[in-house]
Structure 1
């Protein structure tokens, strides 16, 4: 009886760890050679999709992930590696609107307003990638976020028929990024559950042409 309990506990512990290990390796390896830090090295795409995040931390200070994604988007646009920006994020309530917040800052940084399109239904990375392909009718994009996020976005996008490269915004190292990195491991496992269950975006809607 005791031996069976030990085996059961071992399986319950090892299976989630194995799922995390396999999911992480598959997604990391699939994105090799498809993410870039150097703006000169990344290929041109008509549209860059910047993935939304909150602009402020709980304590009210600027969110570094947001700041770095803004900087990466501006650098890519100024280098003429993209012509348009699609901001995809959460617009869950009237008090929380990632796309509008990103747009205001991007315009302030010099990107013309008519070059910025907003996807208000990018509630998850899956939603953002699928909607970029289906709603905004894009076949190739440059996704803009931190490397770990870009890798996951690229994997999802390519499974959904969207060819993608990633431009890596500056990341946080050490303790500052530990919480986000830990959450990323779980998000990668969920990618495979979503694919298995053929999970769809929360909303679709009318098609929008970026031009």
Structure 2
């Protein structure tokens, strides 16, 4: 009986050892992917992201405001508010020729671009110089469509610091002359910042896949002309 039990125990130990090794290798691979995505984003984008309008240069660029929900439940979404504030600041500083608001409109009851456009108009940005991209379902799609559908080859992308770096990294990897403008994160709770940081780590790994595979956005379409830069003058 003892002789029969010993091979079984040995087999179980070997199985557990293999599981532990496999789990360790999976964690190691995940760590390497996170590190690679972080390093790539830093190299491609860090020097091209700015926290004040004065740092953004003198040339007017096409603004690309990345979408998010206007509200979280019954509460106003600070990410949305601060992105609008940042875009208005750039407009008033004369840094933008026009603005693309790119986000999700996958439901008749949910329209990020429309919410952003109305918020910008309320803050004094001319309605005719705001272009809605209703198929910006993710950051990669927003950047690719801004370039290939709307013809923006010099962009000033607006979002929070972590997000805008990923967007700039995507754009510059595709040869697009993109700079980033950091919207505020003030007043964000610790749990909100942690969730956003974890989400961003995963999104940057997805970014590497998108760039390597050169995938097409889910929705493309016919080119849309942007307003002429000379038409953009702050009120």
Partner of 1:183: 199
Pick the aligned partner of 1:207 from 209, 217, 223: 223
User: 2:224 is paired with a residue of what secondary structure?
Assistant: coil
| Number of equivalenced pairs | 210
Distance 1:92 1:112 in 2: 26
Asked whether 1:192 is paired with 2:208, we answer yes
**TM-score if structure 1 supplies the norm length?**
0.95
- In terms of fraction of residues, the more helix-rich structure is 2
Q: What CA deviation, in whole Å up to 9, does each residue of 1:57-86 have, x standing for no partner?
A: 13x100000000000000000010112111
Gaps of 5+ in 1: none
**TM-score if structure 2 supplies the norm length?**
0.86
Q: Counterparts of 1:103-142 in structure 2 under 5 Å?
A: 103-142=117-156
Larger Rg: 2
Which deviates more from structure 2 when the two are superposed, residues 7-16 or residues 137-146? Answer: 7-16
User: 2:33 is paired with a residue of what secondary structure?
Assistant: helix
User: 1:156 is paired with a residue of what secondary structure?
Assistant: helix
Which deviates more from structure 2 when the two are superposed, residues 61-70 or residues 149-158? Answer: 149-158
**Residues 67 and 101 of structure 2 are in contact (CA less than 8 Å); yes or no, is this contact kept in structure 1?**
yes
Q: What CA deviation, in whole Å up to 9, does each residue of 1:151-189 have, x standing for no partner?
A: 110111122231100010002363331111110000000
